[in-house]
Amino acid sequence: MKKELSDAEMVRKMEHFQRIIRWRSMFGWLFSGAGLILFIVGLRNLHNLMLLLNGFLFFGYGLFMVWQAKKAKEKIS
C-alpha cells in the first residue's frame, strides 16, 4: 500500500528532483567537453585508438545525459 505524501513532502521531493536534473545536465556538459578533448587528442595520436574511442564514448554519454535532463525538465514543467 502506497503512503500518501503531504504537500511539504511533495515539494521537498520535487526540489530534490530538480536539483538532480540540474547537476545531471552540468555533468553531462562536463563529460561532453572531456570527451571532445580526448577525441581531439586521439585524432592527433592515431596510434592510440583507445583515446579516440574513449573520447567518442564520453562525448556521446555526456550528450545523452544532457538530453535526459532536458527531457525530465520538460516533463515536470
Average pLDDT value for the chain: 92
User: pLDDT-derived band of residue 6, with 50, 70 and 90 as boundaries?
Assistant: confident
* Positive/negative CA dihedral, 44, 27, 65, 63: negative
Amino acid 37 reads: I
Specify the range with the lowest mean pLDDT, choosing from 33-37, 67-71, 72-76: 72-76
User: pLDDT-derived band of residue 46, with 50, 70 and 90 as boundaries?
Assistant: confident
Amino acid 24 reads: R
Q: Cα torsion at 58, 64, 62, 30 (round to 10°)?
A: 180
Residue with cell 592510440: 48
